[in-house]
Amino acid sequence: MTAPEPVIVGAEWLPGQPESANDHGEADGRYPLLLDVSGKPVVLVGGGPVAARRAHALVEAGADLHVVAPYVCEPLAELIAAGRARWSPRDYAAGDLDGAWLVHTATGEHHVDSAVAAAAEALRVWCVRADDADASAAWTPAVARVGDVLVAVSGGGDPRRAVRLRNAVQTALETGGLPLRAARPATAGSVALIGGGPGDTGLITTRGRRLLAEADVVVVDRLAPRALLDELDDDVQVIDVGKTPGHHPVPQEEINRLLVEHATAGRRVARLKGGDPFVLGRGGEEAAACREAGVPVEVVPGVTSAVAVPAAAGIPVTHRGLAKQFTVVSGHEGLDWANLAGTEGTLVFLMGVSSLADTSAQLISHGMDPDTPAAVVEDGFGANQRVTAAALADIAARAAEVGARAPAVIVVGDVAAYATP
């Protein structure tokens, strides 16, 4: 496991000041430091909820944890039962700190915590006191972890302030609001197939946005949330492989090759796609190509336009009493018209505007009611969103009349009656 890259943020440190000064310019003896406690003996005195929180962090870091307390709360008992910590079920006694590299005391009794801290001081062992930050020799910051980045936030003796700051930093890291991209080359390349949603930058997942912010190379589709590219570092290589109806300048085989080539060269590759990469997005083919080449690949689901774009027009693809199921169809490939015409749910066609006249004719000729509600939603969530609604028999003519064009989603079924302009 790769050790997290430490980033220390102290609430009492202002830019332009020495790290050893607080916000009043006074000397501050606190020195920010990360400790590797893996396999090292650590003593925790106390068995309550505060001690349990410290214990979980310590065992996750690999410490050889010894708990000293007459009683322990349930979370601590679970750690002990799982063999992740040792327990001496008694009060603290002299000699309990012998051999320890680090001590935490959280008994809830000031005189006991003071005695533990004094014993640690005599042994020249760092001791964290939960009861009195000012009297403590060491402090545990609030920590935000995202990937291999760790940000430790000290609240200057105010734990609640530290937690609020940590939460804000965590959110900014998870959403790509802070510079996550590594300055050093990656030890191994990888590919992330990221579903960007129907185009609005707010509809990409936080994980997708973070992986995009970490990328060295971005291979982007036409319908992806391309405005996010403006936030990338100047030296990030952006490869546009966007397709338009009837025009595929970069064949799928070449896209697969590009992903593998850049990843095997040690680069972090983000494949930014519209909608969801595994819903009519060729994501399965790209993932297979990466795996066959031995390239680590991660799939980040996206908000599929098959559901989101109808929703943008007020159309639920399922609705009690009207539709219990929906079928997503690629509108420009050979289809089983008889089966589609006989469905009791909603039909959602992607990439089917140019063939809308044939689609409606086929559905009607195979038995679907010509009066079935239908709608065409263009540029869902975009600046030019437009909704055209009509009966199935008339939808193609109506769409042609207004000049409907891709990108668009076609909805056929009773739920299309809910379409709003």
**Catalytic (active-site) positions:** 221, 243
CA distance 342 to 355: 20
Phi-psi region of 89 (alpha: psi -120 to 50; beta: other; left: phi over 0): beta
C-alpha 372, offset from chain centre: 40
- The tokens of 15 are what? 């830019």
How deeply is 70 buried, as exposed, middle or buried, from its count of CB atoms within 10 A (0-12, 13-18, 19+)? exposed
Q: Which amino acid is at 358?
A: D
Angle between helices 392-402 and 356-365 (to 10 degrees): 170
Continuous H helices in 41-99: 49-60, 74-81
- What's 297-320 look like in SS3? EEEECCCCHHHHHHHHCCCCCCEC
Q: What is the dihedral of CA 292, 294, 299, 305, to 10 degrees?
A: -40
Cβ(51)–Cβ(129) under 8 Å? no
295 and 324 Cβ atoms separated by less than 8 Å: no
Tell me the Cα Rg of the chain: 29
Instruction: Identify which of 332, 327, 375, 330 has the alpha carbon closest to the alpha carbon of residue 355.
Output: 332
Using alpha carbons, list the distances in angstroms from residue 391 to 248, 279, 416.
33, 27, 9
Q: What's the rounded Cα separation, in Å, for the pair 411 and 279?
A: 16
Which helix H or strand E contains 146, and what residues bound it?
A: strand 142-146
CA-based end-to-end distance of the chain: 53
Q: Please give the Cα distance from 13 to 152 (Å, whole number).
A: 13
Neighbours of 117 (CB within 10 A): 23
* Closest alpha carbon to 286 in 239, 242, 252: 252
Tell which residue, 190, 196, 240, 241, has the closest CA to residue 214: 190
